[in-house]
């Protein structure tokens, strides 16, 4: 019985330590710079892009839940204008127990609804193309405690997106593209950001 009590106490202390390393506050907001590398038939000709994300996170314990918006912009082979990939996401995160109170590794999953979009303008007609897809990512990172309310977040995720049908507008008028699927693709996303705890 005594051994069991000691083990439970040690586990509770480890979780409390890492909850503090994740955020000492129940609610936090985060803004991050993103770099994204894309591949697959859904991203054929796309270059590595950059962008940002913003999220709000509920820090329950070592397990937290976040949601927000992300956007990256990319060069496209053969086109002058850049294309974008953006949308909303939900991300559970689990801090891995360590002995440190200032550095906390974590594992994460992310489910996103993303939309790819771009515009081609030849001086006569303006054509807008877009497609939406569901994205699943997994990965992790490391949180570095800077102050009681401020953390530095460095992370990377890998994922897969399956897009639906391609949509088009020509000079603002929708044009049907029946059965034209936008394909699928993979991504690797690198993140560096700051998380700020709110309240006590």
Please state the domain extents for the chain: 2-198
Q: Above 50 in pLDDT, residue 3?
A: no
Which CATH number, 1.20.1070.10, 2.40.160.20, 3.40.50.720, 3.30.70.141, labels domain 2-198? 2.40.160.20
Indicate the pTM of the whole model. Answer: 0.82
pLDDT at position 22: 53
Vertex 89: Cα angle to 85 and 92 (nearest 5) = 140
Give tens-digit pLDDT for 148-197: 899 999 999 999 999 988 888 888 888 877 777 888 999 999 999 999 99
CB 56 within 8 A of CB 68: yes
Phi-psi region of 129 (alpha: psi -120 to 50; beta: other; left: phi over 0): beta
Which range among 11-20, 75-84, 178-187 shows the weakest confidence by mean pLDDT?
11-20
Of 49-53, 77-81, 182-186, the least confident: 77-81
Centre a 10 Å sphere on the Cβ of residue 18 and count the other Cβ atoms it contains: 24
**Is residue 33 scored above 90 in pLDDT?**
yes
């Amino acid at each position: 019985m005594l051994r069991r009590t000691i083990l439970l106490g040690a586990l509770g202390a480890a979780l409390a330590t890492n909850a503090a390393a994740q955020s000492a506050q129940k609610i936090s907001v985060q803004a991050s710079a993103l770099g994204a590398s894309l591949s697959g038939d859904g991203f054929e000709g796309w270059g590595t892009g950059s962008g940002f994300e913003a999220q709000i996170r509920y820090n329950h314990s070592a397990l937290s839940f976040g949601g927000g918006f992300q956007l990256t912009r990319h060069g496209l082979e053969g086109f002058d204008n850049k294309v974008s990939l953006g949308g909303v996401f939900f991300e559970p995160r689990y801090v891995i127990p360590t002995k440190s109170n200032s550095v906390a590794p974590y594992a994460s999953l992310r489910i996103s609804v993303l939309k790819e979009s771009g515009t081609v303008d030849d001086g006569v007609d303006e054509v807008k193309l877009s497609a939406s897809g569901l994205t699943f990512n997994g990965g992790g990172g490391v949180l570095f405690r800077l102050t009681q309310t401020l953390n530095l977040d460095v992370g990377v995720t890998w994922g897969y997106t399956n897009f639906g049908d391609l949509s088009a507008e020509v000079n603002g008028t929708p044009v049907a593209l029946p059965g034209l699927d936008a394909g699928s693709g993979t991504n690797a996303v690198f993140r560096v950001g700051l998380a700020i705890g709110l309240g006590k």
